[in-house]
Amino acid sequence: MSKAITRSAGAPPGAALDGFMRLPAQRQIGLLLSLALVVGLLGAAFTYATRPAMVPLLAGMTERDTADAMDALSRNGFKYSVDSTTGRLMVPASSLHEARIRLATEGLPRAAATGFESLGQDSGFGTSRMVENARYHHALEGELGRSIMTLNGVESARVHLGLPKPTVFLRDRATPTASVLINLHPGRKLDESQVAGIVHLVASSVPDLDAEHVTVVDQRGRLLTSPQDHAGAGVSGRDLDYVQRLEESYVRRITELLAPVLGMEGFRAQVAAAVDFTLVESTEELFDPDNAVLRSEQVSEDLNSPASATGGIPGALSNQPPPAGVAVPAGEGALAAVPGGVLDPVPPQNTSRRSTRNFEVDRTVRHTKQAPTSLQRLSVAVVVDHRPASADPGAERIPLTEAELTRIEGLVREAVGFDATRGDSVNVVSTSFMPQAELEPVDAMPLWREPWVADVVKQGLLALLALIIVPLVLRPMLKNLSVQPVRRAQALPAGAQVPALAGSTAGGNAAVVAQKRESGEDQLKVAQNMVREDPKLVAQVVKQWVASDGN
């Protein structure tokens, strides 16, 4: 029967190291590799379980924006990493939205636009003037784009300038133009004042550029600036927006007036406005004949000579004496007073009188241009829900009386500015509203889809792996290191006797053994001391025991 001596469970801590040092080199290397593999596996599992899932923060960020974002995340205490493959900035999935909101508050990311700093770059030797002008125009466009991007709601902007070549000929001069492309943040919209500000900003930054020659377009291709001339056919989108805002303002007035009386859910109101966008220009000239004023007068008189006067063509015929007078009998009217009673035979030949008068007439010239937004008619419809007959929760609902409807109609008329000459109409009706359907409750998110469940599962798998590896791998390995293998002792020569133990006489071995047999515990301690002091001697003793048992 073979026997072996092993260490007890209460061996000193150095026993495992002592046992490991007594192992063969191959077994030591194997145990070290196995231990390193187990520790590495546990470390990798722990790192994977405790590391949060990283997702890209934002796509399409430039290097400058990425650097600014890293600085902002560091200041605000966010964890981040940079993907070595794509170069994207990664953040934990649990803090993705919070990190994006934080970057948005700091105006990140910013679109890259080249401004006047590009003019400081080395342009090289022999750069033409055309290239320099093109670089200046590009830099000016970049600066205008940067200025526009500082506005709230604008994510990025690009400006294109059409600057004509200067010329000394007036007839060949062209006016500069500009176009602006704006990319707005999701859910944002620019009002008319902001669009007008962008237009005047660009027009004031370029010499000789008029505001009407600036066009603003958003990322959806919608024209945000409309021409001022309404003479074209059709109705523009700006006109439709005006009608919609006008109707909404009337509905808001009615709601603010009736909500305290009927409640927000007790009525519905709609307004339809007919607006004329025709631009009319008229010119008239008026005259008032009653207010005539004499401005100038011209009178011309012509009186010819009498027949007895010498006249005609000079010569013998014109030098004839006048004919003899004609005697008039006395007592004939007016001729009696004529001396001698003789009259000229022929009176004067021609007498002419002309008169021209110029009067200043009162004249009025009137040029009228009517506004293109003329309200022609309003149509208002109000539906009032039935009211409960009593204050009880389950009371019957009854319609409103005619007097109540009349009072409501009067309030609506005053709210919208009712004008009968314009053809406005207001209709108030009391009817029962359909009961509102109860919304179905939204199903709660399954537990396994919660973000924290994945982390808990990872940690649970790590704990399970540790529970499996520690008792099944590490513990047997360490226990194996604490066990000292039994080495075979070399055979003694024939006739040789077992040497005595150290510190004892040749015949005192039996006495020492007899003194230590008081109990089994003492015997075990003696055996352990013997093995520790002289293992070779113990091996010889065990060999002799085996030989004696065999005999």
Domains of the chain by range and CATH?
52-106 (3.30.70.1530), 130-228 (3.30.300.30), 231-287+358-389+397-433 (3.30.300)
Q: How far is CA 105 from CA 67, 75, 152, 528, in A?
A: 16, 13, 11, 76
Q: Beta strand 281-303 with 351-369: parallel, antiparallel or unpaired? A: antiparallel
- The confidence score (pLDDT) of residue 361 equals 74
Burial 360-388 (b: 16+ CB within 10 A, else e): eeeeeeeeeeeebeeeeebebebebbebe
Q: State how far the Cα of 220 lies from the Cα of 184, in Å rounded to an integer.
A: 10
- Over its C-alpha atoms, the chain yields an Rg (Å, rounded) of 61
Identify residue 133 by its one-letter amino acid code. N
Residue-wise pLDDT tens digits, 58-75: 877 777 788 888 888 888
Burial degree of 90 (CB within 10 A; 0-12, 13-18, 19+): middle
Strands, DSSP E only, in 211-350? 214-218, 267-276, 281-303, 326-327, 342-343
Identify residue 394 by its one-letter amino acid code. G
Element (H, E) at 483: none
Q: Which residues of the chain fall short of a pLDDT of 70?
A: 1-20, 23, 49, 110-126, 172, 227-237, 304-349, 437, 451, 477-523, 549-551
- The confidence score (pLDDT) of residue 77 equals 87
- The confidence score (pLDDT) of residue 480 equals 63
User: What would the DSSP string read from start to end of 169-192?
Assistant: -STT----EEEEEEEEPTT----H
Q: How far is CA 81 from CA 43, 53, 317, in A?
A: 20, 11, 137
- The confidence score (pLDDT) of residue 518 equals 47
- The confidence score (pLDDT) of residue 328 equals 52
- The confidence score (pLDDT) of residue 411 equals 92
The encoded tokens of residue 503 equal: 């510190």
- The confidence score (pLDDT) of residue 80 equals 86
Strand-pair partners of 217:
181, 223
On the question of a cis peptide bond just before residue 92, with omega within 30 degrees of 0, the verdict is no
Residue 133, classed as helix, strand or coil, is helix
- The confidence score (pLDDT) of residue 253 equals 93
- The confidence score (pLDDT) of residue 310 equals 53
Strands, DSSP E only, in 199-278? 214-218, 267-276
Residue-wise pLDDT tens digits, 86-127: 888 888 888 888 888 888 888 777 655 566 666 666 666 667
Q: State how far the Cα of 44 lies from the Cα of 33, in Å rounded to an integer.
A: 16
Identify residue 469 by its one-letter amino acid code. I
- Report DSSP state, residue 409: H
